[in-house]
Structure 1
Amino acid sequence: MGQKLIIDTDPGVDDAFAIALAALSEDVELLGVTTVFGNVSLPDTTRNALRLLALCGRSDVPVGAGADRPLVHPQRSRATRIHGADGLSGRSSMLPEPTREAHRAGAVNLLAELLETADEPVTIAAIGPLTNIALLLATHPGAREHIDRIVIMGGGLNGGNSTPVAEFNIWSDPEAARRVLVAEDVPCVLVPLDLTLRCAVDSAWLAKLAAAGAVGSALTALTPDYVASYRKVLGFDGMAMHDAVAVAEAIRPGILRTEPFPIEIDCTSGPGRGATLVDRRPGLARDEAEGPVPAGTVHVAVDTDLDGLRAFVLDRLSLP
């Protein structure tokens, strides 16, 4: 069937593009989608995920609602200023109504069930706060052997977007991020803000998507407020596809160039909270030829063929 994939998400405009990218890719077996608090509240992220799957004709994909708050401290703020009060620029009602309800087992149990019943290792694309994934690894330790790798959109090598040092997904639950990225021995790919901002698309790209078909038209209809918020960041009319970049790597391993680095997450209560500390000093990175990568070493995405990546996403989303 192709790449077995589960998406853990907090939709979110960029999450919407990421979910559609996986749902529409014929070489992907999308086993499930789990939702977490983040950009907006858990009821909103769950409803958005169900509606996006209905838009893509994929109501067969189960959706499990997960954590509605971080592991330890309350979430300091949501991203409604960027994504709108409903997470989709106030336009979620433009999407089809869900044709099914969220899975009764909830996100963590659904994740465990999907992993344990899969006949080969599964990739998890974690594109929201990492609370569900941390809970999965803590409560179902046997799940590790069923995970091929976890591709995570999060972190910033040279600063953040929620604070001067912290990126939103990591900042929303640093303790969970540390559990997944540092404390657990699970292969991870981190797709940071530094690269996803470079992969931003412009208004011409969005116009091509809008003209390509019903799904593309619906997705671009969700973007006006998001584009407006990124105008000051990017310096042009366009948007960052953050989460879709990570899902592209989950679908096509190697579309992003990665390097292994030791990593730490700041879980203190000071101004550094949520910072992703990637040790890029020469000589400390491990080469895969040296053997298994130890816990605390993460493959960080540092570069890609920007035009090739944009073309890949546009092609996958441009169904008639």
Structure 2
Amino acid sequence: MGRKLIIDTDPGVDDAFAIALAALSEDVELLGVTTVFGNVPLSATTRNALRLLSLCGRADVPVAAGAARPLVYPHPHRARYAHGADGLSGRAGELPDPVRALEPVDAVSMLVSLLEAADEPVTLAPIGPLTNIALLLAAHPGIAEKIDRIVLMGGGLVRGNTTAAAEFNIWSDPEAARRVLVEEAVPAVLVPMDLTYRCAVDTGWLAELAGSSPIGAALNALTPDYLEHYKKALGWDGIVLHDAVAVAEAIRPGMLRTEALPVEVECSLGPSRGATVVDSRLPGLRGETGEEPHTVDVAVDTDLDGLRTFVLERISGAKR
């Protein structure tokens, strides 16, 4: 039928675009969606995920709720300053009511069931804090063989957005991120904010989306608070579709150019907590200073206009 995909998410405006991208792509078999705390509390991220799938006409996709807090330390604050109090610029209630009930099992249990039932390896696309994925791999190590790769949005190579050092998803649960990126051998693609910022879209792109279909109009209607935040972050009128960039790579491998690089996650309680430390030294030089470490495929570049067009066409239905 298509590429098998599971999304783990904390909707979130950019998560909304990412979910729609997968849900409306006919070459994707969206097996399920799991939710995690993050941009807003778990109750809101779960409700938003159910409503977004309803918007996309995907009552066939099961949703299970996962972690409500990080593995170790409390979550200091949410991202209401960017996504609004309900995660969708205060407009979550304007989306269609859910037409499918929440699954009666937790996220990790559903992930195990879906992965075990799949007849080929599945791509996981975590686009929020990595708590659910860390728990899955810790409690069910044998399930790794059913995972094709993990394509995740998170981290910053030279700066952060939540703190000077840390990007929001990694900062929200650094211990979970370290488990997934450093301690596990499952192939992973890290899509950092350095690249997602370069993929930002302007108000002209949003206007084209809004005029394309009722779904496009509904997604555009979720952006006012997000747009106001990114006017400050970008210095011009536009938004950054962080999570949709990662899901685009999950759908079409190779859309992003990657480099295999060692990655560490700072788990101290100091000012650099949650930072992703990427070792960009040449392999020969790294070898001189110690054993060659595990690497992650770090996304560093893409055809920016091509990616924007891909996301727009998939969501608008122009080329499905």
Shared fold, TM over 0.5: yes
Contact 1:8 1:34 in 2 (8 A): yes
Deviation at 1:141, TM superposition (A): 1.1
Partner amino acid, structure 1, of 2:144:
R
Partners of 1:285 and 1:267 lie apart in 2 by 25
Task: Tell me the equivalent position of 2:309.
Answer: 311
When the two structures are aligned, how many residues end up with a matched partner?
A: 313
Contact 1:18 1:247 in 2 (8 A): yes
Deviation at 1:282, TM superposition (A): 2.3
Deviation at 1:285, TM superposition (A): 9.3
Alignment of 1:1-320 (within 5 A): 1-283=1-283, 296-319=294-317
Partner amino acid, structure 1, of 2:270:
G
Partners of 1:137 and 1:110 lie apart in 2 by 13
Deviation at 1:284, TM superposition (A): 5.4
Contact 1:115 1:143 in 2 (8 A): yes
Partners of 1:235 and 1:270 lie apart in 2 by 29
Partners of 1:70 and 1:85 lie apart in 2 by 20
Contact 1:184 1:295 in 2 (8 A): no
Other structure's SS at 1:212 match: coil
Partner amino acid, structure 2, of 1:114:
L
Do the aligned partners of residues 240 and 284 (structure 1) sit closer, same or farther apart at CA in structure 2, a change above 3 Å counting?
farther
**Superposed CA offset, 1:39-83 (max 9, x none):** 000000000000000000001100010000000000011001100
Task: Tell me the equivalent position of 2:289.
Answer: none
Name the TM-score, length of structure 1 as normaliser: 0.96
Deviates more, 1:100-109 or 1:64-73: 100-109
Deviation at 1:106, TM superposition (A): 1.1
Other structure's SS at 1:29 match: strand
Question: % of aligned pairs identical?
Answer: 71
Name the TM-score, length of structure 2 as normaliser: 0.96
Deviation at 1:319, TM superposition (A): 2.8
Task: Tell me the equivalent position of 1:290.
Answer: none
Partners of 1:70 and 1:130 lie apart in 2 by 9
**Superposed CA offset, 1:140-173 (max 9, x none):** 1111000000001000001100110000000000
Partners of 1:251 and 1:284 lie apart in 2 by 33
Other structure's SS at 1:303 match: strand
Deviation at 1:213, TM superposition (A): 0.2
Contact 1:31 1:114 in 2 (8 A): yes
Give the root-mean-square deviation of aligned CA atoms.
Answer: 1.2
